[in-house]
């Protein structure tokens, strides 16, 4: 496994590769967990070389405290990625990707970024798209892998590749879950065992919606709100039923696998998101 800290050294390595080599890319912010490792595994099955980036991207955070508290486990991450037989790690510092005082670019995602994460995390997706564009320019991957847990981000990245005329194919990989259904997330490292157990209410609500799709959306949404109101230890930020076409809220079911129910919630100061495609 090779580790690069600068785009120059990574580019020099990539230039030596056979141009016929397919490159799979997994962008992460570190604190590697089984969800990330599933992305690596999928990439290794489909591509000759797999590259993983580890970079906590400052431009996608609207909350300074959230950015400072984001878990950092670089040495542990290297070990996990080596065990997963990842070929290359790119783990730069911010000055390698951003000029001094550089901010996020402005993109036009039409309606994709108007709801949910776009509504509650100002400028978040511009920050995500800014760093993904930079990383794609350096690596030029054949395929890039993103978890379906961040379903809105996945749709944003698919829009981005069209905007920047990238040939990279975006692959969504199903969410990996803990035994109680909680979606694997780097932020889970900030939760105690008891808090993880309590956070299972998110998946329980999503699963209820999947099992009761014969009910109206308004009735299911009411059920979710009632469940969170009973559970005083966790705060519901949003519960939205959306169309995957435009990530806008829906009142009626669209065709199969074109709907998603998305939830964001706080347990103490830790923000968790999850969804199920219906």
Q: pLDDT tens digits for 99-132?
A: 999 999 999 999 999 999 999 998 999 999 999 9
Say which of 33, 36, 124, 223 is annotated catalytic. 36
Which pLDDT score is estimated for 95? 98
Q: pLDDT tens digits for 225-263?
A: 999 999 989 999 999 999 999 999 999 999 999 999 999
In the chain the first and final C-alpha atoms are separated, in Å, by 39
Q: How is the chain split into domains, by residue range? A: 2-173, 186-273
Q: CB–CB of 264/116 below 8 Å? A: yes
* pLDDT of 69 over the 90 cut: no
Which pLDDT score is estimated for 161? 98
> Given 3.30.1330.120, 3.30.200.20, 3.90.1010.10, 3.40.50.620, which CATH number is that of 2-173?
3.40.50.620
Distance CA 21, CA 47 (A): 8
Q: What does the mean pLDDT of the chain come to?
A: 97
Which pLDDT score is estimated for 169? 99
State the average pLDDT over residues 172-179: 98
CATH of the domain spanning 186-273: 3.30.1300.10
Q: pLDDT tens digits for 39-67?
A: 999 999 999 999 999 999 999 998 888 88
Q: pLDDT tens digits for 139-151?
A: 999 999 999 999 9
Q: CB–CB of 31/71 below 8 Å? A: yes
Which pLDDT score is estimated for 122? 86
Q: CB–CB of 161/118 below 8 Å? A: no
The pTM assigned to this predicted structure is 0.96
Distance CA 76, CA 37 (A): 13
Torsion angle in degrees (nearest 10) through CA of 180, 182, 186, 189: -40
Q: CB–CB of 181/207 below 8 Å? A: yes
- Catalytic, 124? Answer no
> Angle, nearest 10°, between helix axes 201-211 and 217-230?
160
Report angle CA 48, 53, 57 to the nearest 5 degrees: 155
**Of the candidates 66, 60, 44, 185, the residue with the CA atom closest to the CA atom of residue 135:** 60
Which pLDDT score is estimated for 23? 98
Q: pLDDT tens digits for 15-38?
A: 999 988 999 999 999 999 999 999
DSSP state of 177: B
């Amino acid at each position: 496994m090779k580790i690069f800290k600068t785009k120059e050294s990574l580019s020099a390595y990539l230039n030596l590769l056979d141009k016929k080599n397919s490159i799979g890319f997994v962008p992460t912010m570190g604190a590697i967990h089984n969800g990330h490792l599933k992305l690596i595994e999928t990439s290794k099955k489909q591509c000759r070389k797999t590259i993983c980036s580890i970079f906590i991207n400052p431009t996608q955070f609207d909350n300074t405290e959230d950015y400072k508290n984001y878990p950092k486990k670089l040495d542990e991450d290297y070990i996990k990625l080596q065990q997963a037989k990842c070929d290359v790690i790119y783990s730069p510092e911010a000055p390698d990707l951003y000029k001094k005082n550089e901010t996020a670019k402005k993109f036009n995602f039409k309606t994709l970024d108007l709801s949910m994460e776009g509504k509650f995390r100002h400028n978040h997706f511009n920050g995500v798209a800014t760093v993904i564009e930079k990383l794609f320019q350096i690596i030029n991957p054949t395929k890039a892998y993103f978890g379906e847990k961040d379903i809105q981000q996945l749709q944003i990245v698919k829009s981005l590749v069209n905007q920047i005329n990238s040939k990279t194919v975006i692959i969504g990989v199903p969410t990996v879950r803990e035994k109680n259904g909680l979606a694997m997330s780097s932020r889970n490292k900030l939760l105690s065992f008891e808090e993880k157990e309590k956070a299972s209410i998110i998946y329980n609500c999503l699963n209820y919606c999947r099992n009761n799709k014969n009910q109206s959306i308004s009735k299911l949404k009411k059920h979710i709100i009632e469940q969170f109101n009973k559970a005083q230890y966790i705060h519901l930020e949003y519960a939205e039923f959306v169309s995957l076409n435009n990530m806008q809220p829906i009142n009626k079911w669209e065709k199969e696998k074109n709907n998603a129910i998305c939830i964001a919630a706080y347990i103490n100061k830790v923000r968790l998101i999850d969804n199920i495609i219906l």
